Structure 1
């Protein structure tokens, strides 16, 4: 049976999370993950007083994570284990600097919260990330119907992902005024758009999807001319749900507000690929698609840097490391020089 939380430990956790939030500027989502890691360690350790810390705790916890299973019985991924150990390392380092703990916990003790070199390398390795090809995305987009306002909205949403690879949280928070068709751009103003790390930026349309621009233009024209939406209205309004007598609910137009969560947008994207008998891909896969396409077809460093900035990365290495993986066959051709013309083609 799990022991009851120790009040002293809970106060320390709370103080640590306050430090991480206000001094280290972590988001609530990141804080939730760190709290879960601290709680996991605390439960495994039998709720022992943190003031009695010993390096054997760290060594034992590492062994525990190596044997740990997920809720579906799979071994815990190395990247997850690394994130947990990183939290415990940071917590121990912070603890060593607190009054009443300096003589009990040393800063060097934090180093025991590390994976083996082999596991660390595996955790850092970029995983294979499935993404559609440009042709697959075009196929799915081209087969999406656009006879009703709802279908027009869904096709425009899919099209904007093709054009920009915009993050899903930013996508569903966009307003009409943030799209400039003439400039071929999206203004991601962090005061109004849910951007990552609250970073404002301009994102420009990829030249590979004229049909996506057409779908987006048709949707904007409908919003402004038919639905009489203004600049501050949501670009992708939520579907309205109307009650029916003895028949539950039915969809009826739009509610003139954005979606409260990302799930409806994800269903639109998945449904578009399913409709053309293709593997399902999530909204984030479009970022991989555009980055891989650029890595394969860019003819200059400047073009690759522009693609990286367009995706919102501060470092082009982030784009190359996380999104620009090269498959085995193309790697073989690049190294051996075989079929060189094919390598440069899109």
Structure 2
């Protein structure tokens, strides 16, 4: 059993309360801080935080580089190490200003918790993200059964994720009233007062142009909820599975109920089974956002279209869309560069010039 230090536990409790109540940090951020502190205490055998010295920081960094991830069994990534060190640095900086610690924790020692320049660069290096093609998503949906309400819910859930690029936490908190199918294209209003959006942002998303057949799957499900199951505006768009007595005598899924899922774990399991059934590798829901951004790179022909696409994903800045989700794999990069050369010979490139002008204005300068 892990050793507990009562003094440290009190300090951790006070710090977590400070982050939550004074700094407004999310629960996900608080969990990351707890994990960082737990790793540090495991390395120091839960020694009092007041004994912190630069030698402990150096030793912890070495130990952290050798630590294996629980899920992967591989050494922690450079970004995970950098995040852990940053969390500890902020904690000890806070601690150094607490009564009774100003003479014990030295700011110069805290600086030793920073990663090396090389490790910091590795942590910030962009990574290629595996994501499904639209054809792979279609294949997964086509392989899904449709016999029961649960089957149709699952099928609509996968289609809806590609149609909207919605994050899974927001997806499970959506209600029927958040979707307006009377408009063309249908619109999803993610109200942060009821929907778990990132940074509590209000997001308005119209169905992306990925196919009328996929839109029909989602809208047919919405009509089934309204007409067959008699769901109202406050009922969940993708309701929780109702468990009951199955034909074999044990507990089994028997339908849907008017309750939201408490977390997104069931959604990820639905995705996993859908891709496995189609004989494809598993792609989590969030990878669909990467699919949509790469689709934008081939469909958008003007700055206005690119901005609308970006805004549809909930991004305030086009740069977020292009840098966080739009990295092109090297093979595709070569194809694009080659095509651009041919287009330039034929008098193309106007759209690129317009996009360059917009980005230049955003940086506060005029294009060269």
* Matched residue, 1:64: 63
Distance 1:52 1:137 in 2: 54
Question: 2:149·2:256 contact (CA, 8 Å) conserved in 1?
Answer: no
TM-superposed deviation, 1:143: 4.3
Distance 1:63 1:162 in 2: 42
Residue number among 209, 215, 223 corresponding to 1:221 in the alignment: 223
TM-score, normalised to structure 1, is 0.90
Segments of structure 1 that go 5 or more residues without pairing to the other structure are: none
Asked if residue 162 in structure 1 is aligned to residue 143 in structure 2, the reply is no
Structure 1 residues 179, 73: closer, same or farther in 2, change over 3 A?
closer
Q: How many residues align?
A: 342
Distance 1:102 1:250 in 2: 59
TM-superposed deviation, 1:338: 7.2
Asked if residue 18 in structure 1 is aligned to residue 20 in structure 2, the reply is no
Distance 1:204 1:246 in 2: 44
Question: 1:295·1:320 contact (CA, 8 Å) conserved in 2?
Answer: no
Segments of structure 2 that go 5 or more residues without pairing to the other structure are: 344-348, 350-368
For 1:1-346, what aligned pairs fall within 5 Å after superposition?
A: 4-71=3-70, 73-183=73-183, 184-244=186-246, 247-336=249-338, 340=342
3-state SS of paired residue (1:170): helix
Higher deviation after alignment, 215-224 or 96-105: 96-105
3-state SS of paired residue (1:152): helix
Question: 2:246·2:254 contact (CA, 8 Å) conserved in 1?
Answer: no
TM-superposed deviation, 1:309: 2.3
The alignment's C-alpha RMSD in Å is: 2.4
TM-superposed deviation, 1:246: 6.8
Higher deviation after alignment, 185-194 or 246-255: 246-255
Structure 1 residues 231, 91: closer, same or farther in 2, change over 3 A?
same
- Deviation per CA, 1:152-196, whole angstroms, max 9, x where unpaired? 222211111110110111111111111111331111111211222
TM-score, normalised to structure 2, is 0.85
Distance 2:284 2:96 in 1: 43
Distance 1:288 1:103 in 2: 49
Distance 1:301 1:338 in 2: 17
Question: 1:16·1:91 contact (CA, 8 Å) conserved in 2?
Answer: yes
- Deviation per CA, 1:252-279, whole angstroms, max 9, x where unpaired? 2222222233233223222332333222
